[in-house]
A and B are shown apart, each in its own frame.
Chain A
Amino acid sequence: MPLNKTPLVTINKSPLFDKPEGWGSGFTLAKGKGPGVVVGPGSNNPNVFAQRFSAKPMEQFKIVARASSVGKPKARGRFQINWESSGKFLSASIKAFEVTAEEKIFEHYVIAPPGTVSGTIYVVPDKPKDVVRYTEMTLLSHSGSSAEIAPEPPQIPRFPSKLIHLSDPVTRSQYGNLFRGYDDEVTFKEMILAVQGYTMVTYDGLCGLLSMVRYCERAGIPGDYVEVGVWKGGCAGLMAQGSKYFGKSPRKIHVFDSFQGLPQPIASKDFDGYLEPTFAVTEATAQGVLQPIGMLVASENDVRKLLFDKLRYPKNQVSIHKGWFQESIPAANSSIESIAILRLDGDLYDSYRIALEYLYPKVVKNGFVIIDDWVFGGCRKAVMEYFEKNDFSPYLWTLDGTTRCFQKL
Chain B
Amino acid sequence: MLRSIKERVKESIKTYLESQEKQAKVLGNEIEKELNLLDETNQKKSIVGQAVRFCPSHIHLSDPYVRENFGALSRGYDEENIYKEFISLIRDYTMVTYDGLISLCDIVRNCEQKGITGDFAEAGVWKGGATALMSLVSSKFGNKPRMIHAFDSFIGLPEPIGEKDFDVRYLNMEETFKISKEESRGNLRPINALCAEKETFRKLLVDKIGHPTDKLMIYEGWFQDTIPKAIDKIEELAILRLDGDLYDSYRISLEYLYPKVKTGGFVIIDDWCIGGCRKAIQEYFAARGGVPFMSTVDITGRYFIKP
Interface of A toward B, CB cutoff 8 Å: 58, 89-92, 113-115, 127, 147, 150, 154, 156-165, 167-173, 175-183, 185-186, 189-190, 193, 196-197, 200, 207-208, 211-212, 215, 219, 366, 368, 393, 395, 397-402, 407, 409
- How many angstroms from the CA of A196 to the CA of B56 in the assembled complex? 19
B28 in contact with A160 (CB, 8 Å): no
Partner of B31, one of A113, A115, A163, A176: A176
Q: Are A114 and B11 in contact (CB under 8 A)?
A: yes
- Report A-chain residues with C-beta under 8 Å of the C-beta of B18: 90-91, 113
Report yes or no: B47 in contact with A167, Cβ–Cβ below 8 A: yes
Which residues of chain B are within 8 angstroms of A169 by Cβ–Cβ distance?
A: 39, 46
- Which of B45, B53, B110, B297 contacts A158 (CB under 8 A)? B53
Expressed in whole angstroms, the Cα–Cα distance for A92 and B290 within the complex equals 38
Closest to A172 in B: B35
Tell me whether B178 is interfacial, beta carbon within 8 Å. Answer: no
- Selected contact of B72 from candidates A114, A161, A212, A402, CB within 8 Å: A161
On whether A197 and B23 interact (CB within 8 A), knowing A160-B53, A398-B103, A401-B74, the answer reads no
Contact flag A397-B175 (CB < 8 Å), given A113-B18, A167-B44: no
Which of A92, A113, A400 is within 8 Å of B25, CB to CB?
Answer: A92
Does B54 lie within 8 Å of A168, measured CB to CB? no
Instruction: Say whether B192 faces chain A, with CB atoms less than 8 Å apart.
Output: no
Residue in contact with A190 in the complex, picked from B27, B52, B54, B307, CB distance below 8 Å: B27
**What are 19 inter-chain pairs, A to B, with CB distance below 8 A?**
A113-B15, A114-B15, A115-B175, A158-B56, A159-B54, A161-B74, A165-B47, A172-B38, A173-B32, A177-B24, A178-B56, A181-B299, A200-B47, A211-B293, A219-B290, A219-B293, A395-B305, A401-B76, A409-B264
- Judge whether B11 and A168 touch: CB under 8 Å: no
| Chain B residues positioned under 8 Å from A215 (CB to CB) | 293
Cα-based distance from A357 to B14 in the complex (angstroms): 46
Which residues in window 132-177 of B have CB below 8 A to A? 175
Q: Which residues of A contact B7 (CB under 8 A)?
A: 147
Chain A residues with Cβ below 8 Å from B175 are 114-115
Asked, given contacts A177-B21, A185-B20, whether A162 binds B293 with beta carbons under 8 Å apart, the answer is no
Quick check: B305 and A409 within 8 Å, CB to CB?
A: yes
Q: A89-B22, A114-B11 are in contact. Are A176 and B44 (CB under 8 A)?
A: no
Residues of B within 8 A of A366 (CB): 293, 307
* Known contacts A158-B53, A158-B55, A395-B107, A181 near B24 by CB under 8 Å: no
Q: List B contacts of A114 (CB < 8 A).
A: 11-12, 14-15, 175
A160-B48, A165-B47, A208-B296 in contact; A175/B57 too (CB < 8 A)? no
Nearest 10 CB-CB pairs, A to B? A176-B28, A401-B76, A181-B299, A158-B53, A168-B48, A160-B50, A156-B55, A91-B18, A409-B307, A162-B74
User: Which of chain B's residues has its CB closest to A397's CB?
Assistant: B295
A164-B56 contact, Cβ under 8 Å, with A175-B32, A398-B75, A401-B76 = yes
| Interface residues of B, count at CB 8 A | 68
Residues of B within 8 Å of A175, CB to CB, are: 28, 31-32, 35
* Chain B residue at smallest Cβ distance from A394: B305
Cβ-closest chain B residue relative to A192: B31
Task: A186 to B32: give the CA distance in the assembly, Å.
Answer: 15
Contact at A211–B114, with CB atoms within 8 Å? no
Nearest Cβ distance between residue B244 and chain A, in whole angstroms?
20
In the bound complex, residues from chain B placing their C-beta under 8 Å from that of A183 are 296
- The interface residues of chain B lying within 8 Å CB-to-CB of A397 are 295
- Residue contact B65 to A154, C-beta cutoff 8 Å: yes
In the complex the two chains form, is B114's CB within 8 Å of A91's CB?
no
Check B45 against A161 for contact (C-beta < 8 Å).
no
A168 near B29 (CB under 8 angstroms)?
A: no
B 33-64 to A, binary, CB cutoff 8 A, 1 in contact else 0: 01110110001111111101111111100001
Closest to B273 in A: A181
Q: Assess the B296–A207 pair: CB atoms within 8 A.
A: yes
CA distance A148 to B14 in the complex (A): 17
When distances are taken between beta carbons in the complex, the residues of chain B under 8 Å from A127 are 36
Per a CB cutoff under 8 Å, which of B36, B56, B103 touches A180?
A: B56
- The distance in angstroms between the C-alpha atoms of A385 and B296, with both chains bound, is 28
Can you name the residue of chain B whose Cβ is closest to the Cβ of A375?
B76
Q: Which of A113, A186, A395 contacts B20 (CB 8 A)?
A: A186
A168 to B52, CA, bound (A): 13
A168 to B38, CA, bound (A): 12
Question: Which chain A positions have C-beta within 8 A of B39?
Answer: 169, 172
Q: Is B81 in the interface zone, CB < 8 Å from A?
A: no
> Does B19 have its Cβ within 8 Å of any Cβ on chain A?
yes
Point out the residues of chain B lying under 8 angstroms from A211, CB to CB.
293, 295-296
Given contacts A176-B25, A219-B293, A161 and B35 within 8 Å (CB-CB):
no
* Smallest CB gap from B44: residue in A: A167
Q: Which residue of B lies closest to A211 (CB)?
A: B296
CB <8 Å contact, B48 and A163 = yes
Closest-by-CB residue of B relative to A91 is: B18
A208-B295, A401-B75 are known contacts; what are 14 more A-B pairs with Cβ within 8 Å? A89-B22, A157-B55, A161-B52, A161-B74, A165-B47, A165-B48, A167-B46, A169-B46, A175-B32, A177-B25, A190-B27, A211-B293, A397-B295, A400-B76
CB neighbours (8 Å) of B65 from chain A are: 154
Inter-subunit contact A161/B73 (CB<8 Å): yes
Q: Is B220 an interface residue (CB 8 A)?
A: no
- The CA-CA distance from A215 to B294 in the complex, in Å, is 9
Q: How far is the CB of B95 from chain A (nearest CB, A)?
A: 15
CA distance A315 to B7 in the complex (A): 53
The answer to whether A159 and B25 have CB atoms under 8 Å apart is no
**Distance, CA A399 to CA B217, complexed state (A):** 33
B298 within 8 A of A: yes
Residue in chain B with minimal CB distance to A174:
B28
Q: Given the complex, which residues of A lie within 8 Å of B11, measured CB to CB? A: 58, 114
Of the residues B48, B58, B293, B301, contact of A171 by C-beta under 8 Å: B48
